[in-house]
Structure 1
């Protein structure tokens, strides 16, 4: 073989290797190992909920898919733009933000870094100057959860279990994504107990409201003292204070995002779960297979993205008749027989 033929053969091999890493018809060809950056929300690592679930999912993706992973310890939403940008500058294949506060910066960065894929869990659509939702860039997946559906089950359970006719909701930051929980919860309560009163408290109006356990304790203690006997929280790390109030008062509490029974054993009726870990694993798997799916993606009870805990630890707390009623409502939502409101005003009207 002549030197020229050898040179041509080597070039051909190189071109084939490059083609294996290139775009093919708008879809990335599978990669063996992807580099993923995860940006935490307020509350950070150890919140016992939203963040820890996403971290666990990322760890599982690293174990099963061999992904090269990094987790931002930036402190939460206040610095998420910088953390998202840093991972983009590092040319990671996939950058994931797990808070609605990451929506706008991820939207901007996706346009600036077309070769990096971005995903936001609990995405809040970015709007133009006229308030119209803007289409996501072709490398951004905005995953929204129909959180009101899971909260509806929490409300039904609270209404069925309450002895005082007063149930409570403690939210973190007063924002649309948390008001979805409030709306669904109130609708669930009214579905089974029209005469019940829902007492609502928010920890604040900034991202810090998700990481203030003392505030959560004060709000929950005040509700319990006022006659509330079941509280559902959607407050991130602030919820640890709500659990403390439940332990100290001997009242019921309902957890969120992950199974939070261990926060107040014997006092946690259930937890409304959001399978963030599965979402993160799915995103990494898509990226590794060259099948990243961009656009708006809505997930709810019917998709298995949301659920409620009923197992050997809390089964004795919930009478069989109550369980059956909640399950019947869950199936009705899945079947489309019940449309759960997304905003409190709709819940009140219903």
Structure 2
């Protein structure tokens, strides 16, 4: 090899290395906005934590409509973002088409599985965390009726509702669980007025604890619960602070960690495609305890939930996953 060839080879390697180092991760915030106090905000929080700890930077885009999904994904890849992190199951079919066109770009999808060699799919055991907060709801209820408000009526949200009902009925097999979905289109994720209306209707049927898994719509659910002086359970992010002393707990889903880990893996060159499931065992889901709800949760309640948590992790307690067979033995959906 001539001296000039060696020089050119070394220069090319240096350029490639520099290009990889300069690549910034990208985050596409889903419908509802990054300050939905729930799913999207958790993802944004994880990205910001990565920035604060590493001094790095990332590209960010917020979807404004369903029609933007493919265009936004492609534009982010063409800007050089790596990986491109997309949020929500609604992106799955689009990413299935887009990922093969950018084989040198890594993608991460949260809440769905996309089987492509350059895609990492991160899913959560929401039914497990929902079982625990369902137990808490049943133990806290004085009326024998608890309720659930979901966002868009899709299998993922039914997975929350089903786990919640199973947990409640593990405490009291006779408890009544009312479940309503906000709608059948993506608008259901950002309709707090409808969320409040559904909650008041459930209260009229006797509910004194309501669990919201509805994105931005949940803000209306939690507000209505506080206004009507019943207890509420938040979702995804720890929402206890929003209404101190009326929030029984929050079923936390660590979307923030998923985004943080994706950015970190890319930065360290350890990205791996495939499916990653985050559950109780690795603290991917859980329930929130802090100064805002400590007056509502008794030692007895927490001990029972911790015992159940250990049982789920060991396999002694099996929580039914609605998405496994589109059925819910504990609740008519």
TM-score, length-scaled by structure 2: 0.93
Contact in 2 for aligned 1:190/1:196 (Cα 8 Å): yes
Secondary structure in structure 2 of the residue aligned to 1:222: helix
| 1:144-189 C-alpha deviation (Å, 9 max, x unpaired) | 1110001001110011111111000000000011111011001101
1:348 aligns with 2:330: yes
Establish whether residue 11 from structure 1 lines up as the match of residue 12 from structure 2: no
Query: 2: distance between equivalents of 1:164 and 1:310?
Result: 24
The residue correspondences of 1:39-78 to structure 2 (distance < 5 A) are 39-75=28-64, 77-78=66-67
User: 2:174 matched to 1:195?
Assistant: yes
User: Of 146, 169, 178, which aligns to 2:157?
Assistant: 178
Q: Structure 1 residues 204, 244: CA separation in 2 closer, same or farther (over 3 Å shift)?
A: same
Deviation of 1:70 after TM superposition, in Å, equals 1.9
Gaps of 5+ in 1: 23-30, 127-135
Superposition deviation, residue 267 in structure 1: 0.5
For residues 296-332 of structure 1, the C-alpha deviation after alignment (integer angstroms, 9 at most, x for no partner) is: 2111111111111112321121111111111111111
> What per-residue deviation string (whole Å, max 9, x for no partner) do you get for residues 248-303 of structure 1?
10000000011111222211010011111111111111111221111121111111
How far off is 1:7 after superposition?
3.2
Deviations 1:27-55 (A, max 9, x none): xxxx4343122111221121111111111
Contact 2:165 2:331 in 1 (8 A): no
Structure showing greater radius of gyration is: 1
- How far, CA to CA, are the matches of 1:261 and 1:338 in structure 2? 27
Contact 2:229 / 2:246 at 8 angstroms: preserved in 1? yes
* Contact kept? 2:36, 2:215, Cα under 8 Å: yes
Classify 1:116/1:12 alpha carbon distance in 2 versus 1 (closer, same or farther; 3 Å).
closer
Residues 33 and 65, structure 1, Cα contact 8 Å, conserved in 2: no
TM-score in terms of structure 1 length: 0.89
- The match for 2:232 is 253
Q: Distance in 2 between matches of 1:101 and 1:237?
A: 16
Question: 2 CA distance for matches of 1:39 and 1:99?
Answer: 10
Q: What is the aligned length? A: 329
Q: What 5-or-longer segments of structure 2 have no aligned partner?
A: none
